[in-house]
Amino acid sequence: MKASAVAMAMKAFISDRFGEYGEIEDLKVDLEASRLTLRAMLRGERQSVTVSVEHYELQQEGAEVFIVLRGFSSSREWLTLLLTKLFRDKRYKIPGAAAKMLK
């Protein structure tokens, strides 16, 4: 139940920031493995792509929660390379509602 609530919050967060590139069709969170997998239809693509954050870490500072993305894989090699270059080991603040679910 908690994983599905976190997935809904993360889907909204990702869609808000990256919605111009396509639409998330499905998003799953494995809280025990600290893994996130999504399927999306990206603009200009004929088939959905699958992207996994192979491992993430949560960091808390006071009332704020941050996520650090550690590794990626996807159904497109170029996309894996791009995600790794742009987002690996970077820290992102999680909005209040989603952060409360993760504590």
Q: What is the pLDDT of residues 30-45, one digit of tens each?
A: 989 999 999 999 999 9
Domain boundaries, the chain: 2-102
CA quadruple 58, 62, 15, 30: dihedral, nearest 10: 30
* Three-state DSSP state, 65: strand
Identify which has the larger pLDDT, 12 or 89. 89
Q: Determine the Cα–Cα distance for residues 101 and 96; give it in Å rounded to an integer.
A: 9
Give the containing element (helix H, strand E) for 102: helix 96-102
* pLDDT, position 102: 63
* Three-state DSSP state, 88: coil
Q: pLDDT per residue over 42-82, tens digit each?
A: 999 999 999 999 999 989 898 888 999 999 999 999 999 99
**Side chain identity, residue 32:** E
Place of tokens 């997935």: 7
Q: Determine the Cα–Cα distance for residues 25 and 1; give it in Å rounded to an integer.
A: 19
